Amino acid sequence: MNEIVWPTIDSEHLIVDSKQMLILEKEMFSHGMPQEALMEKAGIQISRWLLKKKPLLKNGITVFIGPGHNGGDGAVIARELFLKGFYVQIWCPFPMKKTLTNNHLNYLTSIGVTKLVEPPDANGKELWIDAVFGNNQTRKVDDKLINLFNQKFHKKSGKVISIDIPTGLCPDKGEPFLDDAVKADYTLAIGLHKIGLTQDSALPFIGELHHIDVGMPTSKLSKIDKKIFKLTYKDIKNIDLPSLPKNSNKYKRGTTLLIAGSEKYPGAAYLALKGAISSGAGFISAVLPELVAESIWRVSPEIVLKGTMQSNQNGNASLFSALKNIDLGAYESLAVGPGIGIDNNDWQKSKDFLIGFEGLLILDADALNRISESQLGSKFFLERKFKTWITPHNKEFLRLFPNIKCETNVGLAVKAAKKFNISILLKGANSIIADNKNAWQLCGTDSQTARAGLGDLLSGFVAGSSAIDLTFCRNITTDFFAKYVLLHSFAASKCKSGSNASAIGDELSKIMRNRKMRQIS
């Protein structure tokens, strides 16, 4: 279940915590890599990145040099930019602690780099580079220093770049150690991405996140346990899904069943079905509330209606009467939840059908809310002996798993997945997909597409896509789940006709018709 087949295990994709990063660095040093060489490489690579963005440098550069090796990286940057003819000045807000950094500092002054005695003026137009603490910071920093940086940031008189980690931000939690942290326009992650930088809580501080490659050995990266992968839209081109044979009929192109909607939320059913249709699945069936069932043939005539759901007095759907008459064994995947509303008595009667379903069960929205309010609670997942994928947002997750604690959303998702033997999509600005050992985190997605209905569309898309792939790979792994989520997000970012769920569903259909998206594995 945990074999990694996508994306590539490399420094561009792996996310680590501060301890893992330190262990990797110590291993490199113990095998002969000089600390001086790694510092040189980091500083020079960052300098090259900056030299490609010369408008940032035109008004000069002020480098804040910290007492440790992050400060040494900053000193190398200052040296390289000075030697390229740019005006560079440095300021050391704390006494030096590392000999190597101090040596670099002495050399800078010897070649004519200005060393400030007083803090620089936040009203100036020069670029500020935060090379104060980086990955090794473990506690609160002087408020005056953070306030100085943030005066610069808010005045927008010149950009702020943080090296590795913004000062004052916890590398593991992605939260300020106390009240605030440096707000950067760019953060340049050295070697590997630190887990704090990919958390939703870090977004107000990191600005644009960029990776600086310093040549981390693949042999070392492969040995990292509990791998976390950073996904961006660049990874779309490497998605490799099974190709559909030309002679396959509709029953061999994926069969899925969706149970969605209610009199209270009829739109959820339409959007979930649109998502399933966009996947290209061959045979899509549905159990719908009577209100939707009466009109679905006008909107989506290809949907096969397998049953209708009555609604209780509050307008919430009742599943039991429909489920007892359906052969669930005919489907590769089953999606339950979008817009069905809450009915605890109905769930109590219906749950055994879902527990016994031998295909892939996808639970979203109100299905998760019903579970969290039921007698079994999250033990429902332990009762199931077959593959289960769930798609909660943060509040739904906390209702389902109130006893699971962790400093990051990635940790929460991995812990829950391991305890209950499920795969989880924990939705957020940087959504996370996790199983019992590994995780995938979406970064750099379009925040403007966070709209009502997109979750319903995604549930249907995952149901249809997984049904297709289950016809070829009977035991699809969690990386397939991550691929579907990335494709859905990519469609949202590419949609030129609007950011509503219906328009994004049309865009998703176009993407899935592109044969490049479904190359032979």
pLDDT, tens digit, 9 for 90 and up, residues 392-419: 999 999 999 999 999 999 999 999 999 9
| pLDDT, average across residues 34-55 | 97
The DSSP line for 477-520 is -HHHHHHHHHHHHHHHHH-SS-SSHHHHHHHHHHHHHSGGGG--
Q: Are 61 and 127 in contact (CB under 8 A)?
A: yes
User: pLDDT, tens digit, for every residue of 220-248?
Assistant: 999 998 899 999 999 998 888 776 666 56
Q: What pLDDT score was predicted for residue 351?
A: 97
User: pLDDT, tens digit, for every residue of 252-269?
Assistant: 789 999 999 999 999 999
User: pLDDT, tens digit, for every residue of 350-370?
Assistant: 999 999 999 999 999 999 999
3-state secondary structure 406-460: CCCHHHHHHHHHHHHCCEEEEECCCCEEECCCCEEEECCCCHHHCCCCHHHHHHH
Could you give the residue range(s) of every CATH 3.40.50.10260 domain in the chain? 14-220
3-state DSSP assignment of residue 284: strand
Residue 280's identity, in one-letter code, is G
Confidence band (pLDDT; 50, 70, 90) for 519?
very low
Confidence band (pLDDT; 50, 70, 90) for 4?
low
Q: What percent of the chain has pLDDT over 90?
A: 83
Q: Are 473 and 520 in contact (CB under 8 A)?
A: no
Distance CA 202, CA 174 (A): 5
Q: What is the pTM of this model?
A: 0.92
Q: What pLDDT score was predicted for residue 453?
A: 76
Could you give the residue range(s) of every CATH 3.40.1190.20 domain in the chain? 237-518
Q: What pLDDT score was predicted for residue 249?
A: 59
Q: Which residue did the predictor score with more confidence, 448 or 482?
A: 482
Distance CA 42, CA 35 (A): 11
Q: What pLDDT score was predicted for residue 520?
A: 32
Say yes or no to pLDDT of 518 above 50: no
Give the list of residues 6+ apart from residue 156 with CB closer than 8 angstroms, or none: none
Q: What percent of the chain has pLDDT over 70?
A: 94
Query: So what's the architecture of 237-518 in CATH?
Result: 3-Layer(aba) Sandwich (3.40)
Q: What six digits make up the tokens of 458?
A: 């995604």
Say yes or no to pLDDT of 449 above 90: no
User: pLDDT, tens digit, for every residue of 289-329?
Assistant: 999 999 998 889 999 999 999 999 999 999 998 999 999 99
Residue 296 phi, psi dihedral angles, 5° rounding: -65, -30
Whole-number mean pLDDT of the chain?
93
Q: What pLDDT score was predicted for residue 140?
A: 84
Q: What six digits make up the tokens of 326?
A: 């359906």
| pLDDT, average across residues 127-153 | 93
Say yes or no to pLDDT of 378 above 60: yes
Say yes or no to pLDDT of 342 above 70: yes
Say yes or no to pLDDT of 13 above 80: yes
Distance CA 498, CA 285 (A): 28
| pLDDT, average across residues 171-198 | 96
Q: What pLDDT score was predicted for residue 247?
A: 57
| pLDDT, average across residues 110-116 | 97
CATH number (3.40.50.970, 2.40.50.140, 3.40.50.10260, 3.40.50.1100) of 14-220 reads: 3.40.50.10260
